[in-house]
Amino acid sequence: MLQFSFGSMEVLDIDARAAKLGIDWSHVNLDSIQLPPGQDFGIESDDEAVYHDDQSEFDTGFGNIIVVDHLPVVPKEKFEKLEGVVKKIYNQIGVIKENGLWMPVDPDTKMTLGYCFIEFNSPQEAQNAKEKSHGYKLDKSHIFAVNMFDDFDRLMNVKEEWEPPQARPFVPGENLQKWLTDEKARDQLVIRSGPDTEVFWNDARQKNPEPVHKRPYWTESYVQWSPLGTYLVTLHKQGAAVWGGADTFTRLMRYQHSMVKLVDFSPGEKYLVTYHSQEPSNPRDASKVEIRVFDVRTGRMMRDFKGSADEFSIGGPGGVAGASWPVFRWAGGKDDKYFAKLSKNTISVYETETFSLIDKKSMKVDNVVDICWSPTDSILSLFVPEQGGGNQPAKVALVSIPSKVELRQKNLFSVSDCKMYWQSSGEYLAVKVDRYTKTKKSTYSGFELFRIKERDIPIEVLELDNKNDKIIAFAWEPKGHRFAVIHGDQPRPDVSFYSMKTAQNTGRVSKLGTLKAKQANALFWSPTGKYIILAGLKGFNGQLEFFNVDELETMATAEHFMATDIEWDPTGRYVATAVTSVHEMENGFTIWSFNGNLLYRILKDHFFQLAWRPRPPSFLTAEKEEEIAKNLKKYSKKYEAEDQDVSLLLSEQDREKRKALNEEWEKWVMQWKSLHEEEKLARQSLRDGEVSDVEEDEYEAKEVEFEDVIDVTEEIVQESM
Amino acid sequence: MPLRVCSFSFSRPSSPSSTVISIDSDTKMRPILMKGHERPLTFLRYNRDGDLLFSCAKDHTPTLWYADNGERLGTYRGHNGAVWCCDVSRDSSRLITGSADQTAKLWDVQSGQELFTFKFGSPTRSVDFAVGDHLAVITTDPFMERTSAIHVKRIAEDPQDQVADSVLVLQSPEGRKRINRAVWGPLNQTIVSGGEDAVIRIWDSETGKLLKESDGEVGHKKPITSLCKAADDSHFITGSLDKTAKLWDMRTLTLIKTYSTVVPVNAVTMSPLLNHVVLGGGQDASAVTTTDHRAGKFEAKFYDKILQEEIGGVKGHFGPINALAFNPDGRSFSSGGEDGYVRLHHLDSDYFNIKI
């Protein structure tokens, strides 16, 4: 048997070794070499995605044997009787193999030894028999002790004295936040196109994305960043995996959940929720849902929830295919303390210390249809629609968790629907209320604004100037006091801005301004506030208006034709607009500066997804941030100088590149010219001696008279007279 | 002949990397719209002097136009199927056309008289006269049991002496894949072909031996739709459905340049005057949506031949562009679209002053 260890040897070594052994290496067909089963000669499979099945059972041959101890010790005469009894017991549990029962006998005394071996047909049966008969009372003094034969080695090796486990030396983990220390303070984004998933630096100075990591078939459906950007989660047949690390993306942890469909992180990225649903074989049944909650860092499954889809949704027409995602909504804040599930007439709030219901019971709220957590506090807002044809009013309530105390509630009349919008710092809650008009034929909308942080949570009602306007979109300014509403009729609705407090009016909402007739159907605030993009996606062909809300002025208008998605980078410096593969054409993304300058554009066929890597919140205090904003000039000087250097370098590089291209082209042209010249005579002869080429082919203006008899008619002219 | 005039401007692409040139918006190039075909255009060809323009379409009549003012001179009647391709002799006396009616026909340009018919058992896709006009290369489509083939025919001085026999027949190794275009190489020594298998092949026109094949790594990834060679036969450009056009050395089959665009390329041409190439295309006619004409990108796109950068686009067609041709003087070009129109563009001074 030849033993080459291919894994560690260089090709040269192999050649040398082959020569030494007198083998003509080139004649060896590598494919024909068959390794003995189970041998890999240290060659590691490069398929690292293979999941090792920990439960794989090795057929060692003794897996289906059990050992029954504490049998009566009987003399030879009673041997057969005992054997009969034991057989009878175990035949009820499983099928004993032929000659599968062996009761050893002391060769000297001919007495049994008080135990026997029983071999079953399968390990499952043996396991079953062990479980069922362990502790079986044959009589008072004979209580069976049953063990698997395979367990004996293990049991024998148990040391008599307990030894403290060896503490493993501390291995420092990778710096998972290293991307935040990028020298140029760039942000990362992940895109998926075709089979590839790629992570880039958005290098706005170079007007180019700089690749970080690219991997084909990285995920089987989609990827997602964790809320603080530490991890990138990928989905696979076997489960989910998270990736991250200092320089490249390495796999940090795997979470087994076969056929996982959806994932969700808790806001502090401590827990990962995975979701899988199975279509029922009978279409009338609800689909089966399994949800698992994992600890992100240890990979341990904290709890799993199984059931039919009904238990994870409030029913209704949309609930047939599966539950609405995310099923579990996490309470705000980084503590990841509570998560809630909405199902029919119940709200189940779990806490993560024990992963069980708070107070061990759910909250019963009849007909509740929607719940929403405050993004910062453990306050839950819920909406209950009208009951009994309007006899019982609709209700919006705020409930504090874990006390389950209702902080505030408001009854609303003739309501058709409600939508709740929390402001990102949890200061305000806006509830968009659609009410029926008197005739009940149409609806109109208004807002109920809750000021959470003020005493007794005052509620204010806001109606639009024209209260019949339809509301198309609503968005709070992140960390701010303002919000924007698109209202009015398509295709040219109006956009209005309101503020919860202005210098003159701290306790009341006031309107800042209205922009008339905008081609917009979606609002995208910058994560730092102040700037907003009014976008006309899809039907509006990707109209973009970059708007400064402080000054109430338009900074730029642009168009990303057919754009389907818009996403701000986490710092609010850049915006990505993308056309995903809902269309065939134009797939790709464009990066803009916050004020609407087009920076660069990348086209990718079959473009599926774009996501900026989120950043954890800044450690700077609000005062420090303000100070920086005030003295921006001082801080920005350094960066402006850097910018200029880069742009100079770029134009220099560009010039050089062009020069090289031109020179290369000139070389080709010279070559062609000389060849053309060489072939001149040959060409001339091909053309029967005609001087061939355009250069020497002087035009000769010849005047050719051309007479053509078009028609000849004979006419007889009759002479009169 | 009614002439419809449409507004047209040479618009800059919104690419931020190149410097912006300003074009006086008052002087707009106005194309001449030539409506003589009832079906989509398939091919356009100028004669050597640049005063005549031949157009082929899926209707059965190739048409001859004045290249200057777009006036129609006449039609060539006789084909019984879509006409895919044509070529005109150097002295503008003979026209050869290839048609889906499984024939290629020789015509007298001036009188419109049909001189000879080459019959094949399958549609003819492309035709090309050799230097000296004594030879022509004709490609036929795969049809029933027949595989795609390249035929070399001798063209007699006097139509009376014309014979139908092929001098040489070349079979593509990928016979079930259509050859979309075959042209003569320098000094008629080679034939260059490209087609649905995305491979460009150079054949010896004497022996029929396959000399070179384009490298699969750098070559096209999807069917080659068009091929246009430089006036001096030194290089040629191919357009492909893989959304690129590529420039090759005609003798060595070295890839010199690649031009990437956003839509499948149906037609390519090169300016004989400036270092510009023009790409035309658009999504497949059957995939064209009814939403917005911009969605299809039915633009003739101008690229800098050397820097491979887009310099401008000419909009106008309502449907993909199927054919492009540059006037040999380099001062006008025409495009033929799925919409049945030929648009004749006389390039204005702004175009000639473009600097990047």
The whole-angstrom separation of Cα A542 and Cα A555 is 17
Kindly tell me if the per-residue pLDDT of B158 is higher than 80: yes
The mean pLDDT of B87-103, rounded to a whole number, is 94
Average pLDDT over chain A reads: 82
CB < 8 Å to B275, chain A: 665
Kindly tell me if the per-residue pLDDT of A46 is higher than 70: no
Question: In which band, very low, low, confident or very high, does the pLDDT at A710 lie, cut at 50, 70 and 90?
Answer: confident
Q: Which position has the higher pLDDT, A1 or A643?
A: A643
CB < 8 Å to A561, chain B: 294-295
The whole-angstrom separation of Cα A218 and Cα A372 is 33
- What are the tens digits of pLDDT across the range B128-151? 999 989 999 999 999 888 899 999
Kindly tell me if the per-residue pLDDT of B93 is higher than 80: yes
CB B118 within 8 A of CB B164: yes
Identity at A233, one-letter amino acid code: V
Dihedral over Cα of A670, A675, A681, A686: its sign: negative
CB B299 within 8 A of CB B343: no
In chain B, the residue whose alpha carbon lies closest to the alpha carbon of A605 is B262
CB < 8 Å to B186, chain A: 675, 679
Cβ–Cβ below 8 Å for B307 and A661: yes
Question: In which band, very low, low, confident or very high, does the pLDDT at A577 lie, cut at 50, 70 and 90?
Answer: very high
The mean pLDDT of A331-347, rounded to a whole number, is 83
DSSP A473: E
> A49: which 2 tokens?
């995605």
ipTM attached to this prediction: 0.81
A217 vs B: CB within 8 A: no
Rounded alpha-carbon distances, angstroms, from residue A239 to A17, A56, A147, A608, B198: 44, 18, 34, 21, 40
A233, β-bridge pairs: A224, A242
Radius of gyration (C-alpha) of chain B in whole angstroms: 19
Identify the CA nearest to B281 among candidates B322, B247, B313: B322
Kindly tell me if the per-residue pLDDT of B127 is higher than 70: yes
The reported pLDDT for the residue numbered A129 is: 85
- What are the tens digits of pLDDT across the range A193-202? 988 999 999 9
The reported pLDDT for the residue numbered B15 is: 39
CA angle A277, A331, A393 (to 5 degrees): 90
The reported pLDDT for the residue numbered A56 is: 45
Lowest pLDDT segment from A81-95, A261-275, A521-535: A81-95
The reported pLDDT for the residue numbered A699 is: 54
Cβ–Cβ below 8 Å for B234 and A676: yes
- What are the tens digits of pLDDT across the range B173-212? 888 899 999 999 999 999 999 999 999 999 999 999 999 9
CB A95 within 8 A of CB A125: yes
Q: What is the distance in angstroms between the Cα of A672 and the nearest Cα belonging to chain B?
A: 6
Residue A312 backbone phi and psi in degrees, to 5: -110, 10
The reported pLDDT for the residue numbered A55 is: 44
The mean pLDDT of A692-705, rounded to a whole number, is 58
Average pLDDT over chain B reads: 85
Identity at A463, one-letter amino acid code: E
Kindly tell me if the per-residue pLDDT of A33 is higher than 80: no
Kindly tell me if the per-residue pLDDT of A483 is higher than 90: yes
Kindly tell me if the per-residue pLDDT of B164 is higher than 80: yes
A598 vs B: CB within 8 A: yes
The reported pLDDT for the residue numbered A531 is: 93
SS3 category, A389 = helix
Cβ–Cβ below 8 Å for B295 and A679: no
Lowest pLDDT segment from A151-160, A219-228, A510-519, B65-74: A151-160
How big is the A-B interface in CB pairs under 8 Å? Answer: 64
In chain A, the residue whose alpha carbon lies closest to the alpha carbon of B19 is A651
Helix (H) or strand (E) holding A646: helix A632-678
CB < 8 Å to A676, chain B: 232, 234
CB A252 within 8 A of CB A244: yes
How many Cα atoms sit within 13 Å of B238 on the Cβ side?
34
B327, β-bridge pairs: none
Q: Which of B234, B251, B288, B305 has the highest number of chain A CBs within 10 A, making it the mutation to test binding with A?
A: B234
Lowest pLDDT segment from A625-629, B85-89, B250-254: A625-629
Cβ–Cβ below 8 Å for A668 and B187: no
Q: What is the distance in angstroms between the Cα of B234 and the nearest Cα belonging to chain A?
A: 6
In chain B, the residue whose alpha carbon lies closest to the alpha carbon of A542 is B295
The reported pLDDT for the residue numbered A509 is: 87
Kindly tell me if the per-residue pLDDT of A107 is higher than 90: no
Cβ–Cβ below 8 Å for B187 and A665: no
Cβ–Cβ below 8 Å for B306 and A665: yes
The whole-angstrom separation of Cα A692 and Cα B282 is 38
Chain B stretch 261-290, residues whose beta carbon is closer than 8 A to a beta carbon of chain A: 262-263, 275, 283, 287
CB < 8 Å to A599, chain B: 16
The mean pLDDT of A444-470, rounded to a whole number, is 87
Question: In which band, very low, low, confident or very high, does the pLDDT at A308 lie, cut at 50, 70 and 90?
Answer: confident
B67 vs A: CB within 8 A: no
Of A541, A598, A654, which is closest to B292 when you measure between CB atoms?
Answer: A541
CB < 8 Å to B234, chain A: 672, 675-676
Cβ–Cβ below 8 Å for B306 and A598: no
The mean pLDDT of A573-587, rounded to a whole number, is 84
Q: What is the distance in angstroms between the Cα of B245 and the nearest Cα belonging to chain A?
A: 16
The reported pLDDT for the residue numbered A41 is: 56
The mean pLDDT of A120-135, rounded to a whole number, is 83
Locate tokens 């039907």: which residue? A539
Lowest pLDDT segment from A108-112, A475-479, B184-188: A108-112
Kindly tell me if the per-residue pLDDT of A427 is higher than 80: yes
Question: In which band, very low, low, confident or very high, does the pLDDT at B328 lie, cut at 50, 70 and 90?
Answer: very high
Question: In which band, very low, low, confident or very high, does the pLDDT at A387 lie, cut at 50, 70 and 90?
Answer: confident
B206 vs A: CB within 8 A: no
The reported pLDDT for the residue numbered B140 is: 93
Cβ–Cβ below 8 Å for A658 and B263: no
Q: Which of A606, A668, A674 has the highest number of chain B CBs within 10 A, making it the mutation to test binding with B?
A: A668
The mean pLDDT of A23-37, rounded to a whole number, is 59
Count of beta carbons in the 10 Å neighbourhood of residue A333: 17
Cβ–Cβ below 8 Å for A585 and B263: yes
> A465: which 2 tokens?
């100037």
DSSP B329: T
Q: Which position has the higher pLDDT, A619 or B116?
A: B116
The whole-angstrom separation of Cα A101 and Cα A92 is 14
CB < 8 Å to B131, chain A: 683, 686-687, 692
| Percentage of the residues of chain B whose pLDDT score is greater than 90 | 63
Kindly tell me if the per-residue pLDDT of B123 is higher than 90: yes
SS3 category, A178 = helix
Q: Which of B274, B294, B301, B327 has the highest number of chain A CBs within 10 A, making it the mutation to test binding with A?
A: B294
In chain A, the residue whose alpha carbon lies closest to the alpha carbon of B305 is A665
Of A600, A661, A668, which is closest to B16 when you measure between CB atoms?
Answer: A600
Identify the CA nearest to A148 among candidates A86, A64, A83: A64
The reported pLDDT for the residue numbered A326 is: 81
The whole-angstrom separation of Cα A508 and Cα A512 is 12
Question: In which band, very low, low, confident or very high, does the pLDDT at A647 lie, cut at 50, 70 and 90?
Answer: confident
Helix (H) or strand (E) holding A402: none
Cβ–Cβ below 8 Å for B187 and A683: yes
Q: What is the distance in angstroms between the Cα of A226 and the nearest Cα belonging to chain B?
A: 33
Kindly tell me if the per-residue pLDDT of A224 is higher than 90: yes
The mean pLDDT of A582-607, rounded to a whole number, is 86
The reported pLDDT for the residue numbered A443 is: 82
Q: What is the distance in angstroms between the Cα of A686 and the nearest Cα belonging to chain B?
A: 5
The whole-angstrom separation of Cα A420 and Cα A374 is 10
Residue A257 backbone phi and psi in degrees, to 5: -165, 100
Identify the CA nearest to A408 among candidates A379, A435, A367, A375: A379
Cβ–Cβ below 8 Å for A683 and B90: no
Contacts of A586 (CB under 8 A, 6+ apart): A561, A562, A579, A603, B262, B295
Kindly tell me if the per-residue pLDDT of A349 is higher than 60: yes
